[in-house]
């Protein structure tokens, strides 16, 4: 299950944030799909956790939006992580029209146990 955190500046339109919320689960799932964790196109609640937070008064950022994705390390994911993050960046730009944003993909060694 990927964890996605979106940090945004005050000037980012609410409509853009709504569009991000709508498209990120699918775009992230496509970007991190791998042999170990295939994506069947049928997202269920909890498959992708997306959190939004505005920049705080002490934050420092040169971008209007930063999308940080954390997804469990898998060998096949790690082998082409730059292609994956570039694909995600292109998809976000196409879906939202955003230009002043960055995408960070982190693949930590991790485990996940959903609630139940």
Is the residue at 114 inside a domain?
no
Is the residue at 115 inside a domain?
no
Domain that holds residue 90: 3-106
Q: What domain count does the chain have?
A: 1
CATH code of the domain covering residue 38? 3.30.429.10
Residues 55-81 pLDDT 10s: 999 999 999 999 999 999 999 898 999
Is the residue at 113 inside a domain?
no
Q: CA-based angle 1:6:62, to the nearest 5?
A: 140
Is the residue at 77 inside a domain?
yes
Q: Quickly tell me which residue has 């937070």 as its tokens.
A: 53
- The residues pairing with 67 across neighbouring beta strands, listed in sequence order, are 6, 103
Residue 112 reports pLDDT greater than 80: no
**pTM of the shown model:** 0.92
Query: What whole-number distance in Å separates Cα of residue 29 and Cα of residue 116?
Result: 22
Query: What whole-number distance in Å separates Cα of residue 64 and Cα of residue 92?
Result: 14
Query: What whole-number distance in Å separates Cα of residue 75 and Cα of residue 98?
Result: 31
């Amino acid at each position: 299950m990927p964890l996605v955190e979106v940090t945004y500046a005050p000037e980012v339109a609410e409509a853009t944030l709504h569009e991000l919320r709508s498209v990120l689960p699918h775009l992230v799932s496509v970007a991190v799909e791998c042999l170990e964790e295939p994506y069947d196109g049928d997202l269920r609640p909890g498959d992708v956790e997306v959190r939004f937070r505005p920049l705080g008064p002490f934050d420092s950022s040169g971008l209007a939006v930063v999308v940080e994705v954390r997804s469990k390390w898998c060998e096949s994911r790690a082998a082409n992580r730059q292609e994956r993050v570039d694909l995600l960046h292109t998809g976000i730009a196409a879906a939202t029209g955003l230009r002043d944003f960055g995408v960070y993909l982190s693949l930590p060694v991790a485990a996940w146990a959903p609630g139940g």
